[in-house]
């Protein structure tokens, strides 16, 4: 599955599609979202108080028990066949599912010695990636919410 994806849509494009309760004023369309980017916040749609809410979260899951937040750079994809077995994911399945709106993702093709990105996308509208999220606390007590995609 993808490590980099795009969210180049305007917020209004997803607000009606997923019946979102509130605006997301800090959202900015992005063409190359990678987990190692410090500012890699992504729009994530969660179920909250009976409605759908969009929040900005860190791209990459940082489990609540992690000692180091850099683990989130590697935790961007979960395999469907191991979701119920791995401690990083199994406790999130019941209450921390989400969808991650995207309008494309990058896959890499080898051409000789170099890798060339190919942008895979739909022509007209955003789609959703299934995801999980968690909240990690920094040593200073601030919360960091992070999400990742699931693939099968």
Given pLDDT bands bounded at 50, 70 and 90, which one contains residue 19? very high
Could you list the residue range(s) of the whole structural domain that residue 99 is in? 5-151
What does pLDDT average to over the chain?
A: 82
Residues 36, 53, 54, 107: which is the catalytic one? 107
Q: What is the pLDDT of residue 99?
A: 92
Which pLDDT tens digit goes with each residue over 86-129?
Answer: 877 878 887 888 999 999 999 889 999 999 999 999 887 899 98
10 is catalytic: no
Number of H helices, E strands in the chain: 2, 10
2 is catalytic: yes
Which pLDDT tens digit goes with each residue over 49-64?
Answer: 888 999 888 887 777 7
Kindly state the average pLDDT of the residues 125-141.
84
pTM, entire model = 0.81
Residues 2, 10, 81, 98: which is the catalytic one? 2
Q: What sign does the CA torsion over 120, 22, 142, 133 have?
A: negative
Q: Say how far apart CA 122 and CA 10 lie, in whole Å.
A: 15
> Is the distance from CB of 48 to CB of 120 less than 8 angstroms?
no
Into how many domains does the chain fold?
Answer: 1
What CATH number is attached to the domain comprising 39?
Answer: 3.90.1680.10
Given pLDDT bands bounded at 50, 70 and 90, which one contains residue 76? confident
């Amino acid at each position: 599955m993808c490590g980099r994806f795009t969210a180049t849509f305007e917020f209004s494009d997803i607000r009606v599609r997923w019946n979102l309760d509130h605006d997301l004023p800090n959202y900015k369309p992005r063409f190359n979202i990678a987990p190692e980017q410090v500012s890699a916040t992504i729009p994530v749609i969660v179920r909250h108080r009976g409605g759908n809410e969009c929040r900005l979260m860190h791209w990459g899951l940082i489990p609540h028990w992690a000692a180091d937040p850099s683990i989130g750079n590697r935790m961007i994809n979960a395999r469907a066949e191991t979701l119920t077995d791995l401690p990083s994911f199994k406790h999130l399945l019941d209450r921390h599912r989400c969808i991650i709106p995207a309008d494309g993702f990058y896959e890499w093709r080898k051409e000789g010695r170099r890798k060339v990105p190919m942008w895979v996308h739909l022509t007209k509208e955003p789609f959703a990636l299934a995801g999980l999220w968690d909240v990690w606390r920094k040593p200073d007590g601030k919360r960091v919410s992070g999400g990742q995609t699931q693939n099968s």
